[in-house]
Structure 1
Amino acid sequence: MDTLINIDNGGTLTDICVWDGSSISFTKTLTTPHDLSECLFTGIEKASEKLYGRADTTRLLHQAQHIRYSTTQGTNALVERRGPMIGVITSVDGLAEQMQRDDAQAKLFDGLIGNRVHTVDAHADTLDFDIVQLVNRLTTQGAARVVVVGGDAEVERTLRNVLLRRFPRHLLGSVPLIYSWELAGDRDDARRAWSCVINSFLHPTMERFLYGAERRLKEYKVANPLLVYRNDGASSRVAKSVALKTYSSGPRGGLEGTAALAGVYGLPHALMMDIGGTTTDVGMVRDSEVAVLDRGAIEGVDISYEMSDVRSTGVGGSSVIAVTDGTITVGPKSVGAAPGPACFGFGGKQATITDVNLLLGVLDADTYLDGTFTLDAERSRAVITETIAEPLGIGLDEALIRMEQAFFTALAQSFSSWVESDTTLLAFGGAGPMSAAGAARRAGVRQVLIPRTAAVFSAFGIAFSDVGKTYEVVIDEATADAALATHNELLARAERDMFQEGYALADCETRWQLVLESTDTGARSRVPYAPGDDVEYPGHTLTLELTTTAPLPHPELAEQESVDETPAPATGTRRVRSAADTVDEVPVHVLEDLSPGHSGDGPAIIEGPFFTARVLPGWHFRVTSAGDLLLTDVG
């Protein structure tokens, strides 16, 4: 049972990538927002058909060591404010003000908390009565979950004991109570509170879907657990996952895949550009290491957890292209999978770059998604004429060129500030290969790498994850004894949690680090820690960090070899519009039919598995020894 199934559930398409111990196979299916388990199992069925020649979902599930799953559902729930009302009880004076120090915090506070925050005196003789009244007031205000924030862990334990006594969990209608210090060992009250609030908001959405998926898997008598892929690059069982760590997990998969390819290609500085249906996610890899923020941010609000440094912009294959005040704009609104772009034929009435590329000739109506989906050019033509060409008083052909240029510019703006002289852009996602050269040239990037697995690259990147846990606990006193006591506490937690994951801690890889946080600047650094070490670091607050990992099989990527270039054979031509009054007869190459070393110059179209790459004039393409596509700007 070496087979690992990796799934990345996006807003428009769901990607499935299967590693069977020796090779990778993959497929895609439309996301079904009304019932996400439908696209999950449709995708697994399609993957089984690719592997075995006929659909056999049961066989694939029973051969799988694990299914690792990443989803945008938490991200989407937060964007759409689709979650429970949150109430806050705190012993910290002025916490509400601390949580609204800028516009981003104030906006999120208004959307998730509003006026549902109350302060309690944890040392009052009337604490039991006071806290009961506050919980009752919050529930009357509509709070479905209550976050409890104590100024320190001891105060919070006091509040917790009272609340458990007054609101025992076994009573029907008991409101879920979430305690900030249990979620995050962070001395910053506002950041810790925000982490708990966002986690509480995301939890019901993630819980409903993931446990629903687990129940359907049990119908197939699947013994191995569903694993949730997290934004720290590791995976864990549904029951052992924190909802907050599912946020933006898909982009982390893309970054891990980028790091793997950067290593085998020897790329010192690589940027990923993952263009999905709704967003473009950009991140950085330097010397094969993923760029990570010590304190991540969600919608501009700092949280207590580490997160990969990913910038998301509302520019994707399904982003609405419109005319605003006489100017063509791209996103952030998206038509998603339903109704989708106009050319999908599901009733879409707004223009997207997918419609543009169909009418430009970049996409072929009959080969989209490897021929599993036929596009309707007439619907695209009608929508673009009505929403773009006529409002601007221009012809359709001119509108198409302007829309494409606006899309390239919007993409370039998403990553241009990170570009260096030796940057390589890794372009993937459904729309990435089509737009990479145009965006790269505008941003000053001269080399683009399009992986053979570009259409499912984030799912591919999940294949490099292991089962793992990371713990951070504040050390109350800067003494060796206090640090040792914290060490022993973390060790016990890790042994329990990894046992529940199915692994003995002795068989796992563990790393202990002391996190030093400057009391002046807040800057964090790490030093190795061993039990009994001296921990006196004046001017710093101390946190002990334990990372434990149970390794899973990873795909083995061959080192790149030099191959002689030969002209790439074309399977035909396609008429592609390059200007309002110019249509070129462009050669079409099929990546699956090309061999390492095959090369050519733009303009050209290269059809990959579930993606179309566009090579613009002035660009040279070459198939690498691994079968990936390398574009170089020689113009």
Structure 2
Amino acid sequence: MNEAIVAIDIGGTCTDCVVIAGDGRVALGKAFTTPPEFYAGIGNALASAAAALGETAAALLARTRLFLHGTTVAENALVEGELAPAGLIATRGFEDTLFAMRGGYGRWSGLSEDEKRNPIDTDKPRPIVERSRVRGLAERTDARGCVLEAVDRADVERAVAALRASGASALGICLLWSFVNPANERAALEGVREHWPEVFVTASHEIAPLLGEYERMSTVALNVSLGPVVSRYLASLDRWLREAGCPATLLVMQAHGGLAPAPLAATRPVSLLESGPVAGLIGCKRLGERLGEQNIISADMGGTTFKVGTIQEGRLDYQRESMVLRYHYALPKLDVVSLGLAGGSIVAVDANGTPRLGPKSAGAYPGPICYHHGGHEPTLTDVDALLGYLNGEFFLEGRAELAIDDARAAFAAQVAAPLGMDTESAAAAVYRLANSRIHDLLHKTTVQRGLDPRRFALFSTGGTAGMHLPAVGRALGVRAIVIPHSASVHGAFGLATSDVVHDELVTQPMRAPADPAAVGALFAGLAERLVAQLQQEGFADADIRLARAIDMRYRRQVHILTVPLEAEPQPALAPLDAASLAAIGERFGELYRQRYGPESAFGDSGIELVTFRVRATGLVKKPAIASAPLGGADAGGAIVARRRAFIEDAGWLDDVPGYAFRALEPGNVVPGPAIVWTPITTAVVLASQTATLDGDRNFVIRAREARAPGP
């Protein structure tokens, strides 16, 4: 079988491509992102990867079975305000839910600690939906699911007509207690489809059947505001693929860590928010499984942001409260923390003579000065170039020139001179400033959460990371730094190694000890629907895996934790009994104390089971990745240059060896100090480190006297 899997991840600066060929070969491609028409960047990245396989992009597309895609189109639309004018239908008397938020919490949630210091200067974020585009229905369902007042279809017709006249182009429906009994919401949905068949519409019971009136409504508002934008984009991409002769199924990455068919993703665009960083985290988990690493700090540093997530004992962690740009939404999202610092971050000196780094980014256009795309403000990438790390002969395989002299002149005038420093000293100081901020974030996500970095491997991904994270990892004390072969395109690698995932849930609060038969029936109903969905998408029973979880809380407390029932997804769900439910309750207590402190649990109040979840995974058939046998340690034959460069633990050195990555063989050991140039990224090995190339061409960097792995 000569079919291929193609993964394309579009970032703010570059478009990344990973191809897994039918024979297990892995090819990488990278090109500049080309907004607003992204297809040129996709085509260039495809052509680069196809060339590595000895073929054209057209030939590669013609034999592609799956086209896997990660996109920032949803968050771009939100950030840039390019949302569809949406309308909302709510229960009469509750039209202001979206605007009241959760009172004062709405004023400061999502703000930095500095921004919270002056509460008077805070305000709620701008509403996603205008108040004039909200209409109420005279209906009511109570907390037990009893319909006290049914929906009047004439009332729905009037609401639709008013919202259509107001300029709305998408509609959301969020009625009280619809997650307990959606009868009224279904009636309203039928009325909308009857009177406005072509409109993009979302009902809360379909996308977020959860406790939390504001969170449900905010989720619906985000979804319908993004719906037309994302739907058009995915339809356009699918059309482009067909015109290019590609027969592949289009699958799109979701923020919960799985792929979804494009038609389904188009109906749930809110699930695409911040899905790009998630793909990289999935890629680190898959690579960790190959390398035998279960405790991983995943750090991605590209052109616009630095992103970090952790994997503990092979398990991914989810955010309890998903938020984007201070807007809440009630969908699961892998826990990835971001910092506005990366290669494109602009370096400047303020009026007080203090250096500033980010969060403003130059992106790909105008980009860093050294990219020669018209940029005129120095960036962190320009600093890395001045430190001797970049080499124009290898940058994007020599397809792009580097204007390092222009970067040096601008940095000297705009940064070094105002600081009263020479250019080399100022560049080294900015480099250390960037690394200190990265270290602070990694410290917060590990040590301040009770995790010992010495037990973790730091996976360095993204085009900029390899020049910074070896130094940061040394300071943090991790036991190894892994720079994957796919480092600069690792989000695309995560796509290529992901599976199709669907979630269903039902909210039905009950007190512990719960009836095992009742709990089992809830899970069985959810699993039956999910298995049927995956079967319709072409998955055989042998390729379907199921996992359950329960959202639990102590009675009279508001903090809810999701407790998994299975460590790993299983081919079938095991029966539940009183003992297994009791064990789940004990596990909830352990997780609660870990999260909120040893004295925080309030067991005497009793435990409440709130929401029941099932996740179904369709295992995507992928070619086995071929590993190469290991050879000798001597890497001297790969040295192609010696140059002056800054090494964190040695200062400025005049004779740092530079290695060509493609000339290295698996098993080679590169002693520091050294610089390694690949076509898509650069790695800097400190004087106190060595880097070993493994059979998958991943670099594993350790201290010369490497500490023994932790327990």
Alignment TM-score, normalising by the size of structure 2: 0.80
Question: What's the counterpart of residue 356 of structure 2?
Answer: 329
Question: What's the counterpart of residue 41 of structure 1?
Answer: 43
Residue 68 of structure 1, CA deviation: 0.7
Q: 2:389 aligns with which of 354, 362, 368?
A: 362
Distance (Å, rounded) in 1 between the aligned partners of 2:539 and 2:47 = 29
Letter paired with 1:253: A
Residue 581 of structure 1, CA deviation: 9.6
2:656 matched to 1:572?
no
Q: Are residues 484 and 447 of structure 1, via their aligned partners in 2, closer, same or farther at CA, if it must alter by over 3 Å?
A: closer
Residue 542 of structure 1, CA deviation: 4.0
Distance (Å, rounded) in 1 between the aligned partners of 2:194 and 2:30 = 43
Q: 1:502 aligns with which of 507, 513, 538?
A: 538
Residue 394 of structure 1, CA deviation: 3.2
Matches within 5 A, 1:176-191: 176-191=200-215
Distance (Å, rounded) in 2 between the aligned partners of 1:598 and 1:568 = 9
Q: Tell me, yes or no, if the aligned pair for 2:394 and 2:679 is still in contact at 8 Å.
A: no
Q: CA RMSD in A?
A: 3.3
Matches within 5 A, 1:148-163: 148-153=173-178, 157-162=183-188
Question: What's the counterpart of residue 560 of structure 2?
Answer: 522
2:507 matched to 1:469?
no
Letter paired with 1:260: R
Question: What's the counterpart of residue 83 of structure 2?
Answer: 83
Residue 584 of structure 1, CA deviation: 1.8
2:100 matched to 1:30?
no
Residues 342-377 of structure 1 deviation map (CA, whole Å, 9 limit, x = unaligned): 112221121111111222221123321221211112
2:100 matched to 1:97?
yes
Q: Tell me, yes or no, if the aligned pair for 1:8 and 1:458 is still in contact at 8 Å.
A: yes
Count of equivalent residues: 630
Question: What's the counterpart of residue 8 of structure 1?
Answer: 9
Question: Which secondary structure does the structure 2 equivalent of 1:610 belong to?
Answer: coil
Question: Which secondary structure does the structure 2 equivalent of 1:187 belong to?
Answer: coil
Question: Which secondary structure does the structure 1 equivalent of 2:65 belong to?
Answer: strand
Q: Tell me, yes or no, if the aligned pair for 1:475 and 1:482 is still in contact at 8 Å.
A: no
Question: What's the counterpart of residue 593 of structure 2?
Answer: none
Q: Tell me, yes or no, if the aligned pair for 1:568 and 1:599 is still in contact at 8 Å.
A: no
Using the TM superposition, name which of 314-323 and 558-567 deviates more. 558-567
Residue 488 of structure 1, CA deviation: 6.5
Residues 497-544 of structure 1 deviation map (CA, whole Å, 9 limit, x = unaligned): 32442335x344242535242243323324476689789997424434
Q: Tell me, yes or no, if the aligned pair for 1:568 and 1:598 is still in contact at 8 Å.
A: no
2:248 matched to 1:224?
yes
Q: Tell me, yes or no, if the aligned pair for 1:602 and 1:616 is still in contact at 8 Å.
A: yes
Distance (Å, rounded) in 2 between the aligned partners of 1:77 and 1:138 = 22
Question: What's the counterpart of residue 540 of structure 1?
Answer: 608
Q: Tell me, yes or no, if the aligned pair for 1:429 and 1:454 is still in contact at 8 Å.
A: yes
Residue 55 of structure 1, CA deviation: 1.8
Q: Are residues 175 and 99 of structure 1, via their aligned partners in 2, closer, same or farther at CA, if it must alter by over 3 Å?
A: farther
Residue 210 of structure 1, CA deviation: 1.4
Q: Tell me, yes or no, if the aligned pair for 1:7 and 1:14 is still in contact at 8 Å.
A: yes
Q: 1:585 aligns with which of 639, 642, 655?
A: 655
Question: What's the counterpart of residue 210 of structure 1?
Answer: 234
Question: Which secondary structure does the structure 2 equivalent of 1:292 belong to?
Answer: coil
Residue 319 of structure 1, CA deviation: 1.4
Question: What's the counterpart of residue 623 of structure 1?
Answer: 693
Distance (Å, rounded) in 1 between the aligned partners of 2:13 and 2:479 = 30
Residues 105-126 of structure 1 deviation map (CA, whole Å, 9 limit, x = unaligned): 7967415235355554425799
Q: Are residues 479 and 189 of structure 1, via their aligned partners in 2, closer, same or farther at CA, if it must alter by over 3 Å?
A: farther
Distance (Å, rounded) in 1 between the aligned partners of 2:257 and 2:373 = 36
Residue 268 of structure 1, CA deviation: 4.3
Question: Which secondary structure does the structure 2 equivalent of 1:465 belong to?
Answer: coil
Distance (Å, rounded) in 2 between the aligned partners of 1:176 and 1:240 = 13
2:476 matched to 1:447?
no
Question: What's the counterpart of residue 427 of structure 1?
Answer: 460
2:315 matched to 1:282?
no
Letter paired with 2:546: R
2:400 matched to 1:400?
no
Q: Tell me, yes or no, if the aligned pair for 1:446 and 1:632 is still in contact at 8 Å.
A: yes
Question: What's the counterpart of residue 551 of structure 1?
Answer: 619
Letter paired with 2:552: E
Q: 2:339 aligns with which of 291, 313, 323?
A: 313
Residues 544-570 of structure 1 deviation map (CA, whole Å, 9 limit, x = unaligned): 433222222346468999987446442
Q: Tell me, yes or no, if the aligned pair for 1:72 and 1:247 is still in contact at 8 Å.
A: yes
**Gaps spanning 5+ residues in structure 1: where?**
none
Q: Tell me, yes or no, if the aligned pair for 2:200 and 2:227 is still in contact at 8 Å.
A: no
2:378 matched to 1:351?
yes
Q: Are residues 285 and 201 of structure 1, via their aligned partners in 2, closer, same or farther at CA, if it must alter by over 3 Å?
A: same
Residues 150-178 of structure 1 deviation map (CA, whole Å, 9 limit, x = unaligned): 1112775425524643x445648x65432
2:455 matched to 1:437?
no
Question: Which secondary structure does the structure 2 equivalent of 1:293 belong to?
Answer: coil
Letter paired with 1:203: G
Q: Tell me, yes or no, if the aligned pair for 1:351 and 1:383 is still in contact at 8 Å.
A: yes
Question: Which secondary structure does the structure 2 equivalent of 1:152 belong to?
Answer: coil
Distance (Å, rounded) in 2 between the aligned partners of 1:47 and 1:38 = 14
Q: Tell me, yes or no, if the aligned pair for 2:30 and 2:44 is still in contact at 8 Å.
A: no
Q: Tell me, yes or no, if the aligned pair for 2:9 and 2:69 is still in contact at 8 Å.
A: yes
Residues 251-285 of structure 1 deviation map (CA, whole Å, 9 limit, x = unaligned): 22221221223233333421111111111111111
Q: Tell me, yes or no, if the aligned pair for 1:270 and 1:285 is still in contact at 8 Å.
A: yes
Question: Which secondary structure does the structure 2 equivalent of 1:254 belong to?
Answer: helix
Question: What's the counterpart of residue 260 of structure 2?
Answer: 236
Residue 303 of structure 1, CA deviation: 3.0
Using the TM superposition, name which of 116-125 and 413-422 deviates more. 116-125
Question: What's the counterpart of residue 128 of structure 2?
Answer: 112
Using the TM superposition, name which of 290-299 and 465-474 deviates more. 290-299
Distance (Å, rounded) in 2 between the aligned partners of 1:476 and 1:301 = 26
Question: Which secondary structure does the structure 1 equivalent of 2:202 belong to?
Answer: strand
Q: 1:122 aligns with which of 114, 139, 148?
A: 139
Using the TM superposition, name which of 536-545 and 241-250 deviates more. 536-545
Distance (Å, rounded) in 2 between the aligned partners of 1:107 and 1:55 = 53
Question: What's the counterpart of residue 682 of structure 2?
Answer: 612
Q: Tell me, yes or no, if the aligned pair for 1:329 and 1:406 is still in contact at 8 Å.
A: no
Letter paired with 2:438: L
Distance (Å, rounded) in 1 between the aligned partners of 2:624 and 2:124 = 43
Q: Are residues 402 and 512 of structure 1, via their aligned partners in 2, closer, same or farther at CA, if it must alter by over 3 Å?
A: closer
Question: Which secondary structure does the structure 1 equivalent of 2:383 belong to?
Answer: helix
Residues 69-107 of structure 1 deviation map (CA, whole Å, 9 limit, x = unaligned): 111222222223321234433227462324452323796
Residue 486 of structure 1, CA deviation: 4.9
Letter paired with 2:385: L
Q: Are residues 602 and 111 of structure 1, via their aligned partners in 2, closer, same or farther at CA, if it must alter by over 3 Å?
A: farther
Q: Tell me, yes or no, if the aligned pair for 2:443 and 2:476 is still in contact at 8 Å.
A: yes
Distance (Å, rounded) in 2 between the aligned partners of 1:72 and 1:126 = 38
2:222 matched to 1:198?
yes
Q: Are residues 181 and 576 of structure 1, via their aligned partners in 2, closer, same or farther at CA, if it must alter by over 3 Å?
A: same
Distance (Å, rounded) in 2 between the aligned partners of 1:482 and 1:423 = 41
Q: Are residues 514 and 285 of structure 1, via their aligned partners in 2, closer, same or farther at CA, if it must alter by over 3 Å?
A: closer
Q: Are residues 175 and 213 of structure 1, via their aligned partners in 2, closer, same or farther at CA, if it must alter by over 3 Å?
A: closer
Alignment TM-score, normalising by the size of structure 1: 0.89
Question: Which secondary structure does the structure 2 equivalent of 1:329 belong to?
Answer: strand
